[in-house]
Amino acid sequence: MRNLRFKISWGVFALFIFTNGVNAQSLNWSGYVRNYTGILLTEKNEYAIIQNTFNLNIEHSKDRTAFKINPYIYQYPNQDLEIGLREAFMDIYFDAVDLRIGKQQIIWGKADGVFITDIVSPKDLSEFLLRDFDEIRMGVTSLKANYYLGDNTFEFVWVPSFLSTKMPGESSIWFPQLEFPVQPTFDYSQNEVPAKLGNSEVFAKYSAITSNIDFEIMGGYMWDDDPTMHIAKTIDSLTSQLTELAVTPRYHRLGLAGGSFSTTLGGFVLRGEGAYYRGKYFNSEDPALADGTVKRDYLHYLIGADYTLRGVRLSSQFVQQAILNYDDYINNDEYENTVTLLLSKEFLRETLRFELFSYIGLNNSDALIRPKIIYNLVDGFELLLGANIFVGNAGRFGVYDKNDIGYTKIKYSF
């Protein structure tokens, strides 16, 4: 606690020195303060979350340079403050080239709420997929270089040090429950990717916007953001019973190539996105495998459409993941199909908005349904009332069937 106080004091002092040194008048300050309170919709009505957030954006630009820092603080009752930097980068602008150096969120692709080619910034899954857009993607320390030729953009990203998906803590209601036939032992000795040049990630993208179509073509040599669970089994030779399981989480390299497009057809906006992943590890029940994993290529793609009908914005996407060279021992389905739906309508001169977003898993008939009502009491002051309803017993969403939540978010932007 003393250490935390020291960090906060140092942070405030540094900010004071910094803002005075850079002429605070020319700094651009923005951000928000937010209270987020969620209640589990069970008989006990326990709190799922009580969170106070302070999010600050400090920006400055001069001639052909600029910087931005985005510190944030999450405060939870009876817990230490969670302090971090979502972004902290510098920009250098040349005539046809922009360079961005530092911690930054990099977002690619045309999909909404689905991560196919959007794989540069890893995800913060502390609250599964429920966090806001700007909070679910983590900043990565990287060098981004963009070269522009008219409406064409060539982008190159170098990530010197791998950052994995942030998973929920073991005490969290969002911690994924892994089922094993016997109590396993975990070996975390290989659960890190050493920070060295050879372990860098690189990504490249070509994109263009035209009057007919927008598109992106991308590729990457990266690490799988999620560790593979290598499982060593010990079987009693006399009884042939499984006696011991040793689980070793380990990260693996992945290569991928993909692209996306967006175009209009009549009143519709049609979107598509797809990627070919090379060398993904899947868990398998094949008894011939020593560590319970198998390496396969797979495809991940979607097609979607947006349309506005009498002021109601409608959007739907069909998403499929397909494992190539599939065998029946693999734990995952050969094809996993998901549909997303969005309905949104604004009232009272855009001060009141109703929105319904849902993921529907077709393989397990499960779903996540997210209705919300947002009211702008005055400009920059937002009241949100919403719910996250999980449907089903199995599947990506069904496993959280006991985690239905009703929540409010009150947000003051400045």
Partner 1 sequence: METTKIKIVLIAILIAVPTLIFSQTKITGLQIIENVYNRETGNDMQGDLTMSLINSRGAQRVREIKQFVKDFSGMEKKIMFFVSPADVRNTSFMNWSYDEVGKDDDQWIYLPALKKVKRISSDSKSDYFMGSDFTYDDLGDRHPTDDTHRLLREETLEGETCYVVESIPKDKEYMYSRSITWVIKDKWIGLKKEFYDEDEELLKILLVKKYEKINDYWTVLSSEMHNVQKDHTTKMELADVKLDTGISANKFTERMMKRGLK
DSSP labels, 215-265: EEEEEEEEE-SS-EEEEEEEE-TTT--EEEEEEEEE--EEEEEEEEEEEEE
Shortest Å distance, C-beta 95 to partner 1: 9
For 129-161, b/e burial (b = at least 16 CB within 10 A) is bbeeeebbbbbbebebbbeeeeeebbbebebee
Beta carbons of 344 and 312 less than 8 angstroms apart: yes
| Between 214 and 224, CB nearer to partner 1 | 214
Other C-beta atoms lying within 10 Å of the C-beta of residue 330: 18
Shortest Å distance, C-beta 58 to partner 1: 13
| Between 238 and 348, CB nearer to partner 1 | 348
Identify the three-state secondary structure at position 268: strand
- Percentages (nearest 5) of helix, strand, coil residues in the chain: 10, 55, 35
Shortest Å distance, C-beta 141 to partner 1: 17
| Between 206 and 329, CB nearer to partner 1 | 206
| Between 203 and 251, CB nearer to partner 1 | 203
Residue 359, class by beta-carbon neighbours within 10 Å (0-12 exposed, 13-18 middle, 19+ buried)?
A: buried
Beta carbons of 153 and 147 less than 8 angstroms apart: yes
Shortest Å distance, C-beta 272 to partner 1: 12
The contact set with partner 1 (CB under 8 A) reads 30, 32, 59, 61, 66, 91, 93, 98, 105-110, 132-134, 137, 146, 148, 150-151, 153, 207, 209, 211, 214, 262-264, 266-269, 306-308, 311, 346, 349-351, 376, 378-380, 382, 411, 413-414
| Between 66 and 129, CB nearer to partner 1 | 66
| Between 133 and 188, CB nearer to partner 1 | 133
Shortest Å distance, C-beta 320 to partner 1: 22
Shortest Å distance, C-beta 123 to partner 1: 14
